[in-house]
């Protein structure tokens, strides 16, 4: 099944823009990097000349001359395919297996810019973190690719009209309860399915949860089989233990002993960094959130984690589809974990494709007044605290403490209730009364947070 993602439109814009540079697509395994590039070639009417350096490491020899004209001449002869910059797209897949080829991209930009060149790699961040070559800074572009978003999931499901309503709904208007419940039901489906392209395609075509779980389990196993590619042999057992422990710790402050009590903290940290570089997880650091940028105020010793994909998280947690789909009123075990994962995953997908996505949260550990806000988000020049509640209700004590201490005018809550804007008046112990604006949004509007912040 062909899945159209909004990212292909971004790639078409890159293809047609003036001053285009070679593009490197970054993302975890199985998020659809190769398929997206092939789809771009098809939609643009170009022939895709594809080299895969993991399957054919000998192909790196074509690039030893570092001269684009010579390289393309040899490739044309070898593949028996003419290479015309107006009708061909050069795709260098799994480029992390031959990282010195990355250095050659600068010469395509400087000497043969008319030919569009795209590279991709699943474990590319390991290569870029400690390069044994000169990265062509300023002569390449990056494109960060995540799993399919909830809104794209709706589009694939044939819910175009509902998606248009989500993208245009006015928070000050009345939300029809049948539409609200329909959207929440689709959110449940997405939580179980997730956004891995192969899983989404299988689900839309056959609606078989058992089959999609088999695909997800295969992906999870494949991630573990990749461990030998980015860690020393002695690290693999620790990587596996950390990987298996993390699904039970989503949304919580992580202590190294929770992952492996018998290993040194430096070893566990290295294992987490490896999983983060592979983009299987995303580390969410505590930020003091007193000003911008949020990343300049982090405490690297205080962090949480979210999984690459909520559907993979469900399978890794052994969560049955029946316990979610058939549960009344959003009451089932693990729902709080999935809610935090869903919102975190959505926020990461809201970053521009050329920008590395980052996510932060806020915590305060004080006697009688400890607090933790699930996420903090930058909107223009404001810092927006975000609380996530699995049901329709839930206290906002942590959010109140944040607003009282930081004095920002607006906070956000995601839950299962209809959207609303509230003026919160709060009186904390031994403090003066204060007020702030609370934007309360249901889960299905999470991808529209910036639009609502602008309107409020």
Ordered DSSP codes for 116-156: -EEEEETTHHHHHHS-SS---TTS-EEEE--SPPHHHHHHH
Of 34-48, 49-63, 234-248, 298-312, give the lowest mean pLDDT range.
Answer: 234-248
Q: Where do the H-state alpha helices sit in 45-123? A: 68-79, 100-111
* pLDDT per position as a tens digit, 394-427: 789 999 999 988 988 999 999 999 999 999 888 8
Average model confidence (pLDDT) across the chain: 92
With 0-12 CB in 10 A as exposed, 13-18 as middle and 19+ as buried, what is 288? middle
Q: Is 121 in the same domain as 220? A: no
Q: Examine residue 116 and say whether the peptide bond preceding it is cis (omega within 30 degrees of 0).
A: no
Give yes or no for a contact between 139 and 21, defined as CB atoms under 8 angstroms apart.
yes
Identify which has the larger pLDDT, 235 or 325: 235
Of 216, 214, 231, nearest to 270 by C-alpha is 231
pLDDT at residue 330 in the model: 53
Q: Is 157 in the same domain as 109? A: no
**HSE (side-chain half, CA atoms, 13 Å) at 369:** 10
Considering 118, 144, 170, which residue would you say is the last residue of a domain?
144
On whether residue 49 sits in a domain, the answer given is yes
Of 311, 384, 340, nearest to 251 by C-alpha is 340
Q: Is 435 in the same domain as 332? A: yes
On whether residue 349 sits in a domain, the answer given is yes
Query: Cα angle at 216 between 211 and 221, to 5 degrees?
Result: 125
Considering 144, 174, 201, which residue would you say is the last residue of a domain?
144
**How far is Cα 228 from Cα 25, in angstroms, rounded to an integer?**
23
pLDDT at residue 320 is higher than 90: no
pLDDT at residue 327 in the model: 62
The sheet that has 88-93: what strands, in order across it?
47-52, 88-93, 117-121, 23-26, 141-144
Give yes or no for a contact between 435 and 426, defined as CB atoms under 8 angstroms apart.
yes
* H-helix or E-strand spanning residue 333: none
Residue 302 pLDDT grade (very low, low, confident, very high; cuts 50, 70, 90) = very high
Q: Is 290 in the same domain as 422? A: yes
Rounded to two decimals, the pTM is 0.93
Give yes or no for a contact between 356 and 144, defined as CB atoms under 8 angstroms apart.
yes
Identify which has the larger pLDDT, 174 or 133: 174
* H-helix or E-strand spanning residue 62: none
pLDDT at residue 1 in the model: 67
On whether residue 1 sits in a domain, the answer given is no
* H-helix or E-strand spanning residue 345: helix 335-349
Q: Is 232 in the same domain as 278? A: yes
Query: Cα angle at 385 between 432 and 309, to 5 degrees?
Result: 155
On whether residue 255 sits in a domain, the answer given is yes
Q: How far is CA 435 from CA 20, 411, 426, in A?
A: 49, 11, 6
CATH number at residue 69: 3.40.50.300
Give yes or no for a contact between 33 and 122, defined as CB atoms under 8 angstroms apart.
yes
With 0-12 CB in 10 A as exposed, 13-18 as middle and 19+ as buried, what is 277? middle
Query: Cα angle at 310 between 419 and 158, to 5 degrees?
Result: 65
**How far is Cα 140 from Cα 135, in angstroms, rounded to an integer?**
9
Domain that holds residue 256: 152-455
Q: Is 450 in the same domain as 347? A: yes
- Residue 274's contacts (CB-CB under 8 Å, 6 or more residues apart) are 126, 227, 230, 231, 235, 239
Percent composition of the chain: helix, strand, coil (DSSP 3-state, to 5): 50, 20, 35
Q: Is 125 in the same domain as 220? A: no
Considering 144, 174, 207, which residue would you say is the last residue of a domain?
144
The CA R_g of the chain, rounded to the nearest whole Å, is 23
Q: How are beta strands 47-52 and 88-93 bridged, if at all? A: parallel
Q: How many domains does the chain divide into?
A: 2
* pLDDT per position as a tens digit, 343-360: 999 999 999 999 999 999
Q: Is 87 in the same domain as 111? A: yes
pLDDT at residue 390 in the model: 85
Share of the chain above pLDDT 90, in %: 78
Q: Is 126 in the same domain as 162? A: no
Q: Is 372 in the same domain as 261? A: yes
Residue 117 pLDDT grade (very low, low, confident, very high; cuts 50, 70, 90) = very high
Fill in the DSSP letter of residue 418: P
Q: How far is CA 24 from CA 54, 103, 157, 400, in A?
A: 16, 12, 30, 42
Of 336, 335, 337, 332, nearest to 307 by C-alpha is 337
**How far is Cα 399 from Cα 438, in angstroms, rounded to an integer?**
10
Q: Is 134 in the same domain as 164? A: no
On whether residue 374 sits in a domain, the answer given is yes
Q: Is 140 in the same domain as 166? A: no
């Amino acid at each position: 099944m062909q899945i159209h993602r909004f990212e292909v439109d971004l790639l078409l814009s890159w293809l047609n823009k003036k001053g285009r540079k070679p593009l490197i697509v970054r993302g975890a395994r199985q998020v659809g990097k190769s398929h997206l590039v092939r789809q771009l070639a098809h939609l643009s009417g170009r022939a895709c000349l594809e080299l895969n350096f993991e399957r054919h490491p000998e192909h790196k020899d074509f690039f030893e001359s570092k001269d684009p004209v010579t390289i393309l001449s040899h490739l044309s002869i070898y593949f028996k395919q003419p290479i015309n910059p107006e009708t061909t797209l050069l795709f260098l897949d799994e480029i992390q297996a031959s990282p010195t080829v990355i250095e050659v991209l600068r010469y395509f930009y400087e000497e043969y810019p008319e030919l569009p060149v795209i590279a991709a790699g699943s474990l590319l961040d390991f290569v870029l973190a400690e390069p044994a070559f000169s990265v062509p800074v300023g002569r390449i572009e990056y494109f960060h690719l995540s799993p399919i978003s909830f809104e794209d999931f709706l589009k694939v499901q044939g819910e175009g009209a509902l998606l248009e309503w989500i993208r245009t709904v006015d928070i000050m208007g009345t939300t029809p309860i049948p539409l609200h419940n329909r959207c929440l039901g689709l959110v449940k489906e997405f939580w179980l399915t997730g956004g891995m392209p192969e899983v989404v395609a299988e689900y839309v075509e056959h609606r078989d949860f058992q089959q999609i779980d088999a695909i997800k389990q295969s992906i999870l196993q494949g991630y573990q089989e990749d461990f030998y590619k980015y860690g020393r042999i002695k690290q693999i057992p620790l990587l596996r233990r950390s990987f298996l422990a993390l699904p039970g710790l989503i949304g919580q402050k992580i202590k190294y002993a929770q992952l492996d009590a018998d290993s040194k903290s430096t070893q566990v940290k290295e294992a987490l960094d490896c999983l983060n570089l592979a983009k299987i997880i995303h580390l969410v650091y505590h930020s003091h959130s007193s000003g911008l940028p949020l990343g300049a105020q982090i405490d690297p010793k205080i962090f949480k984690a979210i999984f690459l994909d909520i559907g993979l998280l469900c399978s890794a947690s052994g969560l049955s589809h029946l316990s979610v789909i058939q549960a009344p009123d959003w009451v089932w075990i693990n729902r709080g974990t999935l809610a935090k994962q869903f919102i975190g995953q959505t926020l990461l997908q809201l970053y521009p494709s050329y920008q590395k996505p980052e996510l932060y949260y806020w915590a305060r550990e004080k006697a009688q007044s400890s607090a933790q806000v699930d996420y903090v988000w930058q909107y223009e020049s404001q810092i927006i605290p975000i609380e996530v509640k699995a049901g329709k209700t839930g206290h906002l004590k942590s959010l109140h403490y944040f607003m009282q201490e930081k004095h920002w005018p607006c906070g956000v809550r995601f839950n299962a209730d209809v959207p609303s804007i509230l003026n919160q008046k709060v009186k904390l112990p031994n403090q003066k009364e204060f007020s702030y604006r609370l934007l309360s949004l249901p889960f299905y509007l999470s991808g529209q947070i910036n639009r609502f912040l602008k309107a409020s």
